[in-house]
Amino acid sequence: MSEDVTLSILRFRPEVDREPHFQTYTVPYREDWVVLDALNHIKDHLDATLSYRWSCHMAICGSCGMMINGEPKLACHAFLRDYRHDGIRIEPLDHFPIERDLVIVMDSFMEKLSSVKPFVIAKEEKPLSDGEHLQSPLQLMAFKQYTLCINCLLCYAACPQCGLKEDFVGPAALALAHRYNLDSRDDGNDQRADVVASNEGVWECTFVGACSEVCPKHVDPAAAIQQAKISASLDWFKAWLLPGAHR
Amino acid sequence: MSRRPYIRKLERNWWLGQRRYVVYMVRELTSLFIGLYCVLLVVGLFRLAQGRAAWDGFLAALSSPPGVLLQLVCLAFATYHSLTWFALTPKAMPLMVRGEPVPAMAIVGMHYGAWAVVSLIVLMAAGI
C-alpha cells in the first residue's frame, strides 16, 4: 500500500516573489525517510526550482538546518514518521534573512564567528623541532564538548535574543570562544575579551537556554556562555582591584 | 541578478508559540515582583528613619490583608525564580573534583543546602 505525505514549504524566489509564501508538495511516505529525503524527492521529481542547502546527510556538515514545524532542526536528522500525523511545515531558519526558499543569508554569522578569533593563540611561538603542544586528557575534557559544534545555526534560530538584537554575537560563536579560552594551549583570553565580554557578547544572553535544547551535537552553548559570564566578571574585578593589572 | 534577501520581522507575541519561551518569559516576569519587594524594603527603611509612629504604621500596612497578599505573591514569584535558577546552576557552575565532574544533582543540592542555612540564620536573627 502506498502512502503519501504532504509538506508545506515556505518559498521565496526574489526574482518573482515580493514576499515568501507557502507551497505544498505531496511525496511518497517512507518509514526510513528524513525530511531531507523528501526535499530531494521534490527537487528531483516535482520541482527543480526548490532551493535548500545540504551536503552530508549524516548530521556532520551542518548545512541543512531549517525550521520544521516551528522547531530548528537538521533536515537530515528529522524523520518523516515523527511529523507526518501533524503535517509538516518547513521554513528557513528563523532570525536570518532569506536568500532564496530555504537558503538563509549567513554573512552576519561568519563575521561574528571570525570576531571571536576561533583558533589557538599560542602563549609563545616555538619551532617545530620542539615538538607538539602536549595536552593531558583532563585538560582536553575541560573543553571537548564545545569542539563538537558544526555551525548549523540551529541555536541562532532558537535564540530569541538573536532575533531581537541583531548585533548579539550569539550562542555558537560565544561557545567556540569559550572553547579556546579553556584550552590549556591557548593564551588568547585577553584578545577575545573585547568581543566576548562586551554588551553584544555574553551580556546580551538572558539564559533562555533554547540554544542548548535544539543543539544536535549536545554542545550546550548556554552553559558555555554562563561560564564565560562568570569568567568575564572575575576578569573585570581583577582588573579593577589588583594593583598593576591592566584595564 | 542582484541579491534581494527578505528580512522577516519578529512578531511582538513571538514568545506565545512555544512552551519553552512562555516559561522563560514567566521567569523574566518574576524579576518585577522581586524588584517590587526590594522597593518595599527601602520604603520600610525610610519609615524606620522617620520614627516610631511611622514604623508602626508601616508594620500595620504590611499586616493588612492587601499587605499580606502582596508579600505572598512576591514570595511565590521569588520561590519560582530561585528554584528555576537552582535547576540551571550545574550549567553555569560546573565543578571538577579530582578530575571528575561533580554530578549535577550534587551542585543543585549544595544550593538548596546553602539556601536552608541562610534562611535559618535569617530566622534566628529575626528571633523566630
pLDDT per residue as tens digits for the range B102-117? 899 999 999 999 999 9
pLDDT at site B1: 59
Assign domain B14-92 to a CATH class: mainly alpha
Shared-domain flag, residues A112 and A52: no
What residue has cell string 568575564? A232
pLDDT at site A234: 92
Residue type, B70: L
- Cβ-nearest to B10 among A97, A164, A208: A164
Nearest CA to A94 out of A145, A35, A170 is that of A170
pLDDT at site B128: 76
In a domain, residue A25? The reply is: yes
Per-residue pLDDT tens for A120-143?
998 788 898 998 889 999 899 999
pLDDT at site B46: 96
Q: Which of A54, A70, A104 is the last residue of a domain?
A: A104
Residues of chain B with pLDDT > 90, as a percent, come to: 78
pLDDT at site A2: 66
d(CA B9, nearest CA chain A) in Å: 8
| pLDDT tier, B2 (very low <50, low <70, confident <90, very high otherwise) | confident
List of long-range contacts for A108-111, beta carbons under 8 Å, 24+ apart: A108/A166, A109/A151, A109/A153, A109/A156, A109/A170, A109/A172, A109/A173
Shared-domain flag, residues A119 and A223: yes
The three cell numbers of residue A97 are: 534573512
- Which has more pLDDT, A67 or A134? A67
Q: How many residues does chain B have?
A: 128
d(CA B6, nearest CA chain A) in Å: 5
Average pLDDT over residues A79-92: 92
Q: Do A98 and B6 touch (CB under 8 A)?
A: yes
pLDDT at site A246: 56
Q: With 60 as the cut, is the pLDDT of residue A247 above it? A: no
Shared-domain flag, residues A70 and A188: no
Q: Where in chain B is the domain with CATH 1.20.1300.10?
A: 14-92
Q: Do A212 and B91 touch (CB under 8 A)?
A: yes
Q: With 70 as the cut, is the pLDDT of residue A220 above it? A: yes
| pLDDT tier, A228 (very low <50, low <70, confident <90, very high otherwise) | very high
In a domain, residue A247? The reply is: no
Number of domains in chain A: 2
pLDDT at site A31: 94
In a domain, residue A219? The reply is: yes
Q: Do A226 and B91 touch (CB under 8 A)?
A: yes
Comparing alpha-carbon positions, the chain A residue that sits nearest to B100 is: A138
Alpha-carbon separation of residue B102 from A148, B5, B106 (angstroms):
22, 47, 7
Per-residue pLDDT tens for B71-102?
999 999 999 999 988 988 888 888 878 778 88
List of long-range contacts for A192-201, beta carbons under 8 Å, 24+ apart: A192/A116, A192/A117, A193/A232, A193/A235, A195/A115, A195/A116, A195/A169, A196/A116, A196/A169, A196/A228, A196/A232, A197/A228, A197/A232, A197/A235, A197/A236, A200/A165, A200/A167, A200/A168, A200/A169, A201/A169, A201/A174, A201/A228, A201/A232
Distance CA A4, CA A147 (A): 40
Per-residue pLDDT tens for B8-50?
988 899 999 899 999 999 999 999 999 999 999 999 999 999 9
Q: Do A14 and B1 touch (CB under 8 A)?
A: yes
pLDDT at site A151: 97
Comparing alpha-carbon positions, the chain A residue that sits nearest to B28 is: A206
Q: With 70 as the cut, is the pLDDT of residue A91 above it? A: yes
Comparing alpha-carbon positions, the chain B residue that sits nearest to A103 is: B5
Average pLDDT over residues A223-244: 89
Distance CA A102, CA A54 (A): 11
Shared-domain flag, residues A221 and A173: yes
Q: Which domain holds residue A203?
A: 107-241
pLDDT at site A188: 95
What is the value of ipTM here, to two decimals? 0.87
> Which residues of A fall within a CB distance of 8 Å from B16?
none
Average pLDDT over residues A97-103: 98
Shared-domain flag, residues A220 and A195: yes
Shared-domain flag, residues A40 and A137: no
pLDDT at site A133: 86
